[in-house]
Amino acid sequence: MMFLEYAVWGAWAPVLGVYLAKTLGFTGDQIGTIYLALPLACAISPFLGGQVADRWVPTQYFLAVSHLLCGVAFLFMATQGTYGPFLWTMAVASLIYAPTLALTNSLAFHHMEDVDKEFGGIRVWGTIGWIVASWGLTFWRVGVQRGWMPEVGQGDLLYLAGAFAIILGLFCFFLPHTPPAKEAKSPWAFIEAVSMLKNKNFLVFMIISFIVATELQFYYVPTSAFLVDLGVPEAQVPGWMTLAQIAEIFTMAFALGYYLPRLGYRKSLAIGVIAWPIRYLVFVVGKPLWLVIASLTLHGICYVFFFTVGMVYVDSVAPRDIRASAQSLFAVVVLGIGSAIGSKFVGLVWDYFSQHGPAGEILSTDWRLLYLVPCGLTIACAAAFLMFFREEIPTEEKPAAEEAVQPQ
């Protein structure tokens, strides 16, 4: 289930930007708007599928129908070559797909005996699915070029996403029965966590997380087009971009468990937030090509040491009775609002530093100036984090005699 869930996403997300820019001739603003569809859907998904699955429909059946419909939407999207129909189809597909990201987790949690021990080994298959989907797309494209794979025309990445979604939809009918909960959580439950923003450290963390989430889109949206302009064959781009996910697996498996207990939250988060501008600085330099490709691995360090550690930090500082709400707030701010605004911002910046043809299509881009924007903003985030964020021990875990001591 996890493998296929993220294979759907991995088939299109890393390389949609270059497809929209180079094949369909969309503007940067149009590309950014298309990319914001899924983050917006993630921001509102707690009010959609989660409530349906919690109250009325067994989770496995909701997942099955959702993925079948999502697959049809992606197959239809592959046939669209104009902005309006493409955007609306992506919006529909995103609204259907977004709730399944949380529901696959909840279904897994429901059937595990020991979540702490078992979930990591299961969730990692999602990252593997993302990698295999990208490699599959590269294999398909190289095979078409060499004549031993069938030609499907433009939209191959969307056909592949649709195929994965339909396979997953059929597979979900055979997942373990997961009935609706007897007492569904309120869709507004995460608002309870807003009071945590009164804590200066948590407020600083959330503000920086929001800004970093906007800058993360400078990796997802234009990087595939950037690599093509540097000379990477377009057919090979999906495979090379999986270096980020491979590094994520190794960082999660071998580095996080060792360094987090030894460094604590502040230093661990600092590693993640500092790795961001280093990667964008390499993009600004833009050569040699091997260094740019090698810098893709910094995505694993960035993501694991900031967002994954961030989830652990949120869980540690939130009172026990609102930990789930705090995680929901973090997800909406980062995966929803931050990513949506970032996608639109990236599109506008891409247009600003590009030369356009008569129909508005992007002819060339000054990548050095474009990547100076996220480089500067992430440097500012790193500086602000180091200046204002302080290590904090959760109040409920402090010895009673130390409760009055201010955190250093």
Q: Is the dihedral of CA 349, 352, 357, 359 positive or negative?
A: positive
Host domain of residue 89: 1-185
pLDDT of residue 189: 52
- In the predicted model, is pLDDT for residue 54 greater than 60? no
The last residue of one of the domains, among 170, 185, 200, is 185
pLDDT of residue 79: 94
Higher-pLDDT residue of 143 and 188 is 143
Within a domain: 407: no
**Alpha carbons 284 and 294: distance in angstroms, whole number:** 14
> Would you place residue 70 in the very low, low, confident or very high pLDDT band (cuts 50, 70, 90)?
very high
Q: Which two tokens stand for residue 95?
A: 């609204």
- At 270-321, the pLDDT tens digits run 999 999 899 999 999 999 999 999 999 998 888 889 888 888 888 788 877 6
The last residue of one of the domains, among 126, 156, 185, is 185
- C-alpha 179: how far from its chain's center? 28
Q: Which two tokens stand for residue 67?
A: 């993925």
- At 383-401, the pLDDT tens digits run 999 999 886 554 444 333 3
Tokens 């429909």 belong to 57
Same domain, 236 and 135: no
Within a domain: 399: no
End-to-end, the C-alpha distance of the chain in Å comes to: 44
> Would you place residue 408 in the very low, low, confident or very high pLDDT band (cuts 50, 70, 90)?
very low
What is the chain's length?
408
Mean predicted confidence (pLDDT) in 13-41: 92
Beta bridge partners of 48: none
> Residue 306's domain is classified under what CATH number?
1.20.1250.20
- In the predicted model, is pLDDT for residue 405 greater than 60? no
Same domain, 232 and 281: yes
Within a domain: 41: yes
Mean predicted confidence (pLDDT) in 64-79: 96
Same domain, 174 and 195: no
In contact, 12 and 133? CB cutoff 8 Å: no
Q: Per mean pLDDT, which of 51-60, 115-124, 140-149, 356-365 is the most reliable? A: 356-365
Same domain, 283 and 301: yes
Within a domain: 91: yes
pLDDT of residue 361: 86
**Alpha carbons 13 and 3: distance in angstroms, whole number:** 16
> Would you place residue 369 in the very low, low, confident or very high pLDDT band (cuts 50, 70, 90)?
very high
